[in-house]
Chains A and B, each alone.
Chain A
Amino acid sequence: MTTAAPTLGQPTRLSRSRGLASRFLVFATSQEFVLLLVVVLLFAVVGNTNPRYLAERNVLNIFNGNAYIAVAAVGMTMVIISRNIDISVGSLIGVLGTVSGSLAINGYPIWSSWLVPILLGGVVGAVIGFMVAYLRIPSIVVTLGLLSILKGGLITVTNGAWITDMPDTYFLAQMRTPEISLLGINIPAIPSPIVIMIVLTLLAALWMRYSPTGRAIYAVGGNAEAARLSGISEKRIIMTVFIINGLCVGIAAVLWATQLSIIQSTVPAGLELQVITSAVVGGVSIMGGVGTTIGAMLAAILLSAINSALVFINVSPYWFRAVVGVLILITVLTDLLRRRRTQA
């Protein structure tokens, strides 16, 4: 079986040999394109019923507020494509965010309070990767145990106290790029989380599409046996994937910690689910081998937009979960259909 359903990041050889029309069809039915369409449609419909939804502040909020989830979803995408899972992301974001805030209020230089959590994330990722790749423990067991360690450890150390009074220069997520005027076109100031989210997603997508190591992630997840026979070291790839995932979680934690003036030093509830959902709705198959970071980012934006839209059309936020459930269902069903088509 080919490892790839036709998605943006992974056109199959089959689609390349076909004509222009069928290549367009493959593109138009890709998860990424459909998601983009749904986001645009959502903005149009909700904006039509309530114009305040399209106000600049709200649109920025939609992209900005959930950017850290999209960043974490970049790492999660790689982990899931390699046919693993990480359910400790939520608690790791909580721990690393607390580390970041504690460094900032205890007089350490600001750059260290941004850098240390990211590196620490990489170290934790390396530990997970070692246990999964070399000790051959299923990633779900490793991260379930780690989740418990991090969650319990964090509350024990901090007693759930809030961290406040960070220096003004600490708030990375509240910074914006300078306004640029290029050839008479004014580019407005963009909040840094959006920039980081987009740059990281594109870098990861290109790396996974074109570099040998990136391609190897798809190979390991799609067919581990075939990957091994073609000389790919599965252990090294899984190790790499978890280290990158840890670094992404570190960046996400810094964005999460620096966006508000208070850091609740507890684990944000249900965060791992949001990250995994973004990846899955973004077209990353939990069976491994399929998906792109672009899809995961678009899904994270879609989820954020839906959450905000419910407020604007006066629907109880309780329905958010139901909507998310339906989205997952649709995604998985289309994934099944696509697989059937490529196999036929």
Chain B
Amino acid sequence: MNAIRRYLRPEQIRELSLIVIIILAVLFFATQIENYLSARTFNRISTSIAIIAVVAVGQTLVVLTRNIDLSVGSIVGFAAYFSGQTLAANPDLAPVLAVCVAIGFGAFLGLINGVLVAVGRIPAIVVTLGTLAIYRGILVDWAQARTITTEMMPTWLIDLPRVNVLTMGEVEVRIMVALALVVVILFQLALNYLPLGRRLYAIGSNPDAARLMGLPIQRTILIAYVLCGALAGLAGFMFLARFGTITVTAGAGLELAAVAAVVVGGVNIFGGSGTMFGALLGAIVIGTLEQSLLRMPQVSEFVRDALLGLFILIAVASDAIIVKGLREAWARSGRLKSAKTTLAPATAKEVKRA
């Protein structure tokens, strides 16, 4: 037990427990769904997880600064529809440009959120709950219930989801999964090593101290929202490539999956702590559940939403209890062992007195 305490922090145990949950969930679904443990299932579920993961990375950036973006689902849908419409109108558009259109459009919507939150000083939850409805409303109005179908798309886009980066027997790592992994790793590195990444933590954990240090708070929050929008735009493009058929309701409810992934992955909703790998683990948990429930014939789309919500509540509640218990256990054992650390402040006081 002491050996465990020495090598692992409570947060790491929590990440391990997430992996255990994923394994248990997979075992459970394997008993419920025929042919669940197959390469085919892995290939399909992993692509959906990739979309959630990319959105969750953007959400993490915003949540780290003590804000939230509830409009990501609408941004994903709008960006998917917009880039699909652009491709339908200009079928010869270079693939790179098509991706840029989606990312740029998402970044633009994120910029609107960011300006209202950072410059307008309106509470993030009010802004993004509003833009969640407004973006969707504009999309519905503009699209006039027209659906983008696979026939309107160029062939390279239809083939894109089936492109593999790595094949091991029947298990394939598809290009979108690889893309999501690259995004997670890049942003994790940026959080650890770029000044911008460190600023996100500083602003989230103590805004007053960050202000006194002279950190550009408004600009950093603005950038976090723009990046979150850009990543949602990228996810929108992945959505378009994966499904081909885009209706005006595309991406609805993704904000729940993204926020859930972030929270389950251990990112503090009050800002200041969390990692991209945690968010990725959260996305895997949420995505596995969502996609597996989707494959159970007796579970309808709406039951799935309800079960997902229920799971999130249970996960967060049990997590709160378990991590609290672990922290207390660690603190207790820490008090017994490290007399040094408890001595340190006392000596500092004595020095002052002298």
A residues whose Cβ falls under 8 Å from a Cβ of B: 85, 87, 131, 135-138, 140-142, 144-153, 155-156, 269-270, 272-273, 276-277, 280, 286-287, 318, 321, 324-325, 328-329, 332-333, 336
B119-133 near A? 1/0 per residue, CB < 8 Å = 011110110011001
B27-52 near A? 1/0 per residue, CB < 8 Å = 00000000000000000000000000
Given contact pairs A140-B125, A149-B313, a sample of 6 additional A-B residue pairs in the complex whose CB atoms are under 8 Å apart: A87-B129, A148-B309, A151-B306, A156-B303, A273-B133, A332-B121
Q: Is the CB of A286 within 8 A of B309?
A: no
Q: Shortest Cβ distance from B191 into chain A, in angstroms?
A: 21
CB-CB under 8 A from B295, the residues of chain A are: none
Report which of B134, B256, B317 forms a contact with A137, defined as CB distance below 8 A: B317
Q: Is B53 an interface residue (CB 8 A)?
A: no
Give the distance in Å from the alpha carbon of A137 to the alpha carbon of B322 in the complex.
Answer: 13
Q: Is the CB of B313 within 8 A of A142?
A: yes
B residues whose Cβ falls under 8 Å from a Cβ of A: 68, 116, 120-123, 125-126, 129-130, 133-134, 137, 141, 253, 256, 259-260, 263, 269-270, 300, 302-310, 312-313, 316-317, 320-321, 324
Q: Shortest Cβ distance from A260 into chain B, in angstroms?
A: 22
Q: Is the CB of B320 within 8 A of A152?
A: no
Q: Shortest Cβ distance from B212 into chain A, in angstroms?
A: 16
Interface of B, secondary structure class, is: helix
Q: Is the CB of B302 within 8 A of A131?
A: no
Would you mind naming 10 contact pairs between A and B with Cβ atoms under 8 Å apart?
Answer: A138-B270, A146-B313, A152-B309, A153-B302, A155-B302, A156-B302, A318-B141, A321-B133, A328-B126, A332-B120
Q: Is the CB of B133 within 8 A of A269?
A: yes
Q: Is the CB of A149 within 8 A of B270?
A: no
Closest 5 CB pairs of A and B: A148-B309, A152-B305, A152-B306, A286-B123, A149-B309
Report which of A136, A146, A269, A329 forms a contact with B122, defined as CB distance below 8 A: A329
Give the distance in Å from the alpha carbon of A343 to the alpha carbon of B229 in the complex.
Answer: 36
CB-CB under 8 A from A149, the residues of chain B are: 305-306, 309-310, 313
Q: Is the CB of A144 within 8 A of B259?
A: yes
CB-CB under 8 A from B263, the residues of chain A are: 141
CB-CB under 8 A from A325, the residues of chain B are: 130
Report which of B133, B259, B306 forms a contact with A141, defined as CB distance below 8 A: B259
Q: Shortest Cβ distance from B348 into chain A, in angstroms?
A: 24
Q: Shortest Cβ distance from B263 into chain A, in angstroms?
A: 5
Q: Is the CB of A135 within 8 A of B121?
A: no
CB-CB under 8 A for A148 and B306, given A273-B133, A336-B121: yes
CB-CB under 8 A from A318, the residues of chain B are: 141
Q: Shortest Cβ distance from A191 into chain B, in angstroms?
A: 29
Report which of B260, B306, B317, B324 forms a contact with A153, defined as CB distance below 8 A: B306
Q: Is the CB of A145 within 8 A of B302?
A: no
Q: Is the CB of A131 within 8 A of B120?
A: no
Q: Is the CB of B122 within 8 A of A328?
A: yes
Q: Is the CB of A144 within 8 A of B256?
A: yes
Give the distance in Å from the alpha carbon of A328 to the alpha carbon of B123 in the complex.
Answer: 10
Q: Is the CB of B129 within 8 A of A272?
A: yes
Most B CB contacts (10 A, CB to CB) among A135, A148, A318 go to A148
Most B CB contacts (10 A, CB to CB) among A137, A142, A287 go to A137
Q: Is the CB of A152 within 8 A of B316?
A: no
Closest chain B residue, CB of each to CB of A277: B126
Q: Shortest Cβ distance from A44 into chain B, in angstroms?
A: 29
Report which of B68, B121, B141, B308 forms a contact with A140, defined as CB distance below 8 A: B68
